[in-house]
Amino acid sequence: MMISVIGGGYVGLVSSVCFAELGHSVNLVEIDEEKTEAINAAIPCMHEKGLEELLLKYVGTRLKARSDYSCVAETDISFLCVGTPSSGDGSPDLTMIESACRMIGTSLDGRVGRHTIVVKSTVPPGTTENRLVPLVMGSSNKMLSEMGFAVNPEFLREGLAIQDFLMPDRIVIGSSDKAAGDAVEAAYRGLDLPIIRTTMATAEMIKYASNAFLAAKISFSNEIGNICKRLGIDAYDVLRCVGMDHRIGPHFLNAGVGFGGSCFPKDVAALISLAEGLGESTSMLRAIMDVNERQPFKIIELLEQRAGDLMGKRIAVLGLAFKNDTDDIRDSRSIPVIRELKRRGALVAAYDPQAIRNMRKVINGIDYCNSAAEALRMADACLVMTEWPEFGELDDEFDLMSSRIIIEGRRVLCCDDSEGICW
Ligand code: UDX
């Protein structure tokens, strides 16, 4: 197939290389020319396992990035992968996706034959049908019968996004009509997995409900973990057994300092905003966010119990990315932790294998280090904030600290004198 992918961010870039891997010709439309040039030079703009290899394999053959929409008319199907960031009240800001819809509509004027527009971006239920379809149709001279619309949410985990694209648990396709759904299904031909066909609003809701449920599992585990900590019980021993019940499942029960990233905080906030707009109560969803906002302060509280007043103390913070195998710091729990450490007068020495460059843009006035050992040297205490595998190999490096107070917000260390936030 001839595919357009609109947006060269995380989801768009991963989707583009994966559609190329599935044998399609992909035009990636990214309005930022610097990014377009980088992609065409096979330089990934973020750290993601396997991405560079696939870019090198397909750039110049099956994959080309462009900064204008003129190529859309030559393709059969467009996947919209632009950001829908949180606006002030929690609802998603649809400015970018609305503008992309207008641009696609205009660019389809010259097209002969049907074109299907697929929304991969996360949008509230009803958005595609009620807002995006009219925008596309209003900016194009096409008949509705020449167009198909679909919603195909992504469930990609950063760090594992390529694996998740090519081996997902399911593919959800909501469509305006059968032909539109069939066109999306054809783009995934070759993957042997369950495909769920549904309405566009249902597909939109599946994405929010999935992310809210995963976030709920984490906040639930964290609250159980906080209780366990008070009782001197290891939350991991408890939750491992809880997860053996097939009705619960073993995943996403890792208690710790809370969730971050580009999806969970934004999507739970969007669902709350949506529900409240409908007059529905959101006590469960609000509790997910409340626990998540409190966890960073729990780790500071524990640190103060062990290290005393933080004024003038050197605190090593290991891990800045919101999780391992990414350089993404969006909503990373390290941000509120470092801000609070600074507020309390601590001197922060921070290290991360990939995310220092991004964190520098957000937080200054701390000591960014080139290695965990450098951060630990003469530290009065250490906080582990990201489960990078290399932290699991740290051993003698902790001897460099001036006092050995090691607190984990993620369970990753092997040394036997560390203490966890929930264990
Ligand atoms: C998530 C969803 O998993 C994905 O399906 C969606 O489309 C995008 O958002 P991602 O944000 O990449 O993916 O990361 P994920 O692995 O889900 O972790 C999110 C956060 O939760 C991280 O901060 C992680 O450390 C934390 N987490 C995860 C926990 O604290 N405990 C867990 O058990 C699992």
Does residue 252's CB lie within 6 angstroms of at least one atom of ligand 1? Answer: yes
From 241, 259, 294, give the residue that closes a domain. 294
The enclosing domain of 366 has a CATH number of 3.40.50.720
Do 192 and 247 fall within a single domain? no
Which residue's entry shows tokens 């199907």?
A: 77
- State the Cα–Cα distance between residues 418 and 401, nearest whole angstrom: 13
pLDDT at 346: 98
Ligand 1 centre to CA of 350 (Å) is 22
Do 289 and 306 fall within a single domain? no
Percent of the chain with pLDDT over 70: 100
pLDDT of 252 higher than 90: yes
pLDDT at 109: 85
Do 90 and 183 fall within a single domain? yes
Query: Which tokens in the block code for residue 140?
Result: 């194009």
Model confidence band, residue 421 (pLDDT cutoffs 50, 70, 90): very high
Do 263 and 219 fall within a single domain? yes
Flag whether 128 is in a domain: yes
As a whole number, mean pLDDT of residues 37-44 equals 97
- State the Cα–Cα distance between residues 285 and 298, nearest whole angstrom: 20
pLDDT at 174: 98
pLDDT at 313: 98
Ligand 1 centre to CA of 4 (Å) is 28
Rounded CA Rg of the chain:
23
Ligand 1 centre to CA of 256 (Å) is 12
pLDDT at 112: 83
pTM of the model: 0.96
- State the Cα–Cα distance between residues 109 and 317, nearest whole angstrom: 54
Do 100 and 239 fall within a single domain? no
pLDDT at 194: 96
Sheet with 419-420, strands from edge to edge, namely 367-368, 347-351, 314-318, 381-384, 406-408, 419-420
Beta carbons within 8 Å of 348's beta carbon, 6+ residues apart = 315, 317, 338, 341, 342, 366, 367
- Residue of 160, 207, 264, 410 to mutate, ligand 1, most atoms within 8 A of C-beta: 264
Do 53 and 123 fall within a single domain? yes
Does residue 48's CB lie within 6 angstroms of at least one atom of ligand 1? Answer: no
| Contact in structure between 131 and 98 (CB atoms under 8 Å) | yes
Flag whether 203 is in a domain: no
Identity of the residue numbered 77: I
The 3-state secondary structure of 157-218, one letter per residue: CCCCHHHHHHCCCCEEEEECCHHHHHHHHHHCCCCCCCEEEECHHHHHHHHHHHHHHHHHHH
Ligand 1 centre to CA of 30 (Å) is 26
User: Which stretches does DSSP call E strand in 8-47?
Assistant: 25-29
The enclosing domain of 228 has a CATH number of 1.10.1040.10
pLDDT of 88 higher than 90: no
Tens digits of per-residue pLDDT, 339-387? 999 999 999 999 999 999 999 999 999 999 999 999 999 999 999 999 9
Nearest CA among 67, 57, 59, 52 for reference residue 7: 67
Model confidence band, residue 51 (pLDDT cutoffs 50, 70, 90): very high
Sign of CA dihedral 136, 13, 31, 69: negative
Model confidence band, residue 420 (pLDDT cutoffs 50, 70, 90): very high
Does residue 368's CB lie within 6 angstroms of at least one atom of ligand 1? Answer: no
Query: Which tokens in the block code for residue 254?
Result: 């890792």
Q: Name the least confident of 30-34, 139-143, 182-186, 369-373.
A: 139-143
Q: How many domains does the chain have?
A: 3
Do 33 and 169 fall within a single domain? yes
Give the other-Cβ count within 10 Å of 237's Cβ.
11
Give the other-Cβ count within 10 Å of 68's Cβ.
12
**DSSP states of 247-276:** TT-STT---SS---SSSHHHHHHHHHHHHH
Residue nearest to atom 26 of ligand 1 (CA): 259
As a whole number, mean pLDDT of residues 329-338 equals 98
Model confidence band, residue 110 (pLDDT cutoffs 50, 70, 90): confident
| Contact in structure between 254 and 295 (CB atoms under 8 Å) | no
Does residue 208's CB lie within 6 angstroms of at least one atom of ligand 1? Answer: no
pLDDT at 141: 87
- State the Cα–Cα distance between residues 279 and 415, nearest whole angstrom: 50
Tens digits of per-residue pLDDT, 138-157? 999 889 899 999 999 999 99
Do 23 and 160 fall within a single domain? yes
Stronger pLDDT, 212 or 109, i.e. the higher one: 212
Compute the CA torsion angle 300, 303, 305, 310 (nearest 10 deg): -80
Task: Tell how strand 147-151 and strand 171-175 pair up.
Answer: antiparallel
User: What letter would DSSP give residue 156?
Assistant: P
- Residue of 10, 47, 152, 157 to mutate, ligand 1, most atoms within 8 A of C-beta: 157
Give the range of the structural domain holding residue 97, as residue numbers without chain letter: 2-198
Model confidence band, residue 16 (pLDDT cutoffs 50, 70, 90): very high
Task: Tell how strand 367-368 and strand 347-351 pair up.
Answer: parallel
Give the other-Cβ count within 10 Å of 88's Cβ.
6
Which residue's entry shows tokens 């626990």?
A: 291
Do 67 and 180 fall within a single domain? yes
Residue nearest to atom 27 of ligand 1 (CA): 259
From 294, 315, 330, give the residue that closes a domain. 294
Do 240 and 214 fall within a single domain? yes
pLDDT of 61 higher than 90: yes
pLDDT at 23: 97
User: What letter would DSSP give residue 396?
Assistant: G
From 230, 263, 294, give the residue that closes a domain. 294
pLDDT mean across residues, the chain: 97
Do 398 and 263 fall within a single domain? no
Does residue 158's CB lie within 6 angstroms of at least one atom of ligand 1? Answer: yes
Query: Which tokens in the block code for residue 285?
Result: 């969803």
Residue nearest to atom 8 of ligand 1 (CA): 263
Ligand 1 centre to CA of 84 (Å) is 18
- Atom number in ligand 1 closest to CA 252: 33
As a whole number, mean pLDDT of residues 73-90 equals 95
- Residue of 214, 223, 292, 423 to mutate, ligand 1, most atoms within 8 A of C-beta: 214
Flag whether 156 is in a domain: yes
Model confidence band, residue 85 (pLDDT cutoffs 50, 70, 90): very high
Flag whether 330 is in a domain: yes
Please identify every residue annotated as catalytic.
263
Do 166 and 133 fall within a single domain? yes
